[in-house]
Amino acid sequence: MRNVAVLVLLALMCLPAPASAQDVTTTNFMKESPSADDIIKALEPSALTRSLRRTDASSEFGEVQKDELKSVALNITFGFDSAVLTASARDTLDQLGMALGSAQLDAYKFLVEGHTDAKGSETYTQSLSERRAYAVRDYLADRHQIGLAKLFVVGKGESSPLVEGDPTHGDNRRVEIVNLGN
């Protein structure tokens, strides 16, 4: 398992980081429970903005949007200080699973990003965000038969807060799903 995680991280390092925050369009579903259709609309790329991102990474990640990645921020809740999904989280993930398995999104690969707030040490929040991202990936694979080859996992810890002025704000504890292309 550790070897797979290292390989995924190395593969993700081949992807160029977005030049600015405007390169990623994130739909924030932190205050609502989105339907599968809502998630599909938020993650489905525009047909007019497609091109190869990098020739050396294209064999692994395929086509992606040239100027814009689409992502959704979801309020996936866990037990305190754990990576155990709550019933509410499973409801949201069921909608996500239906969306990712839909005809509109079936051809794409996705990055599952785990995020935490700043409560705890940086090392601890990093580890917790990774465990939570893996819990989401495993749920989608087990419950919705989303292939593991379609789901890449990364923990962001407290490094990318949604609420920048308040590092301990609850909305910083989230899972983001990024459409990487096909």
pLDDT band at 3 (very low <50, low <70, confident <90, very high): low
Cβ neighbour number for residue 33 with a 10 Å cutoff:
12
Q: How buried is residue 20: exposed, middle or buried, by Cβ count under 10 Å (0-12/13-18/19+)?
A: exposed
Contact (CB, 8 A) for 129 and 161: no
Cα separation, 2 vs 97, whole angstroms: 25
Q: Could you state, in order of their start, the residue ranges of all structural domains in the chain? A: 22-175
pTM for the whole structure: 0.76
pLDDT value of residue 70: 94
Q: Where are the beta strands (DSSP E) in the chain?
A: 24-29, 50-52, 63-65, 69-74, 109-115, 151-157, 174-181
Q: Which CATH architecture is the domain 22-175 placed in?
A: 2-Layer Sandwich (3.30)
pLDDT reported for residue 61: 46
Per-residue pLDDT at 36: 96
